[in-house]
Amino acid sequence: MAVTALKPGYTGQNLDAVENFGPNQLVYLHWEKHLMFCAALAFPFPPEMPFGAIVGEVLPQFYGPHPDFEKIDWSTVRWTLDGEDFVPDLEASIGSQGVGHKSMLRFWTPGLDGLGDSGA
């Protein structure tokens, strides 16, 4: 994303450039309608990581405390990648599926709309 400085001649460091993450890339994840987690979570994932590791290892560790998490039917989850509908292949790497540096993965869980259907 391009940024225009208000001060002429300003130069700054891009601290979240992909080069600063070694072999990893920054990926954002957000569980929609579950505002117990008010913002997307950021992770440094290697592009070779299988998408199934996100579903099977990462999401349970970070979203598992929410009471709705155990009720998720993963076959009905709707995903978007950078604002576009996305159907992940759990066996394929995230990089091969277009998940890049600073990508945003959002997911919706039909029938689960937060604590008491409150969206939280």
The superfamily CATH assigns to domain 21-117 is Phenol hydroxylase (3.10.20.560)
Each residue of 31-41: pLDDT tens digit? 999 988 889 99
CA dist., res. 48 & res. 101, Å (int): 13
| Residue type at position 53 | A
Token couple for 76: 């009905």
CA dist., res. 107 & res. 104, Å (int): 10
> pLDDT tier at 50 (50, 70, 90 boundaries)?
very high
Q: What percent of the chain has pLDDT over 70?
A: 98
Predicted local confidence at residue 11, as pLDDT = 80
Report the sign of the C-alpha dihedral through residues 98, 64, 57, 61, in that order.
positive
Q: Tell me the backbone φ, ψ of residue 114, rounded to 5 degrees.
A: 90, 180
Q: How far is CA 36 from CA 15, 80, 118, in A?
A: 28, 20, 10
Token couple for 101: 């540096």
Query: How much is the CA Rg of the chain, to the nearest whole Å?
Result: 16
Q: Quote the mean pLDDT of the chain.
A: 92
Is the pLDDT at 42 greater than 90, yes or no?
yes
Is the pLDDT at 2 greater than 70, yes or no?
no
